[in-house]
Amino acid sequence: MSMSAEWRRALRCGAAVLGLACGAAIADEPVKDHVVLVKSENADMLRAVAHARATLDGFLALAAKPPAGATGFRLKVRFSEGSQVEHMWVDDFVATPHGFSGKLTNEPE
């Protein structure tokens, strides 16, 4: 599957985040996510995004100084192209002045 020029440009610039992070997880295995379509007004998703944003600073602090045995921190990140939005996992992330830089662990759909 090929990426559009906009996706490649965003990744090349190290802008692994084109929007705010909308989730976080800790895992060691490769991500095997499938795209799930969710309406933008879905109440459960809106609550999950709000919770993720509210707890992001704590997650980032934990990832920066993980306790013994804690590894594989990942961010679920919002990418957009025109009116289309997709959330993908970003591994090996670092904070930048404009968001985050890291490695995508999903192939964009």
**pLDDT tens digits along 11-60:** 333 333 333 333 344 444 555 667 788 888 889 989 988 999 999 999 99
**pLDDT given for residue 54 in this prediction:** 94
Does any domain span residue 84?
yes
**pLDDT given for residue 87 in this prediction:** 87
Could you read off the pLDDT of 72-85 as tens digits, one per residue?
Answer: 899 888 888 888 88
**pLDDT given for residue 108 in this prediction:** 83
* Degrees, nearest 5: CA angle 19-20-26: 125
| DSSP per-residue letters across 8-54 | HHHHHTT---SS-EEEEEE-SSPP--------TT-HHHHHHHHHHHH
Does any domain span residue 91?
yes
**pLDDT given for residue 51 in this prediction:** 94
Domain containing 31 equals: 5-104
Does any domain span residue 109?
no
Number of domains the chain contains: 1
DSSP state for residue 65 in the 8-state scheme: S
The phi and psi torsions of 47 (rounded to 5 degrees) equal: -65, -40
- Least Cα distance to 34 among 93, 101, 89, 100 occurs for 89
Does any domain span residue 27?
yes
- Least Cα distance to 104 among 27, 16, 43, 5 occurs for 16
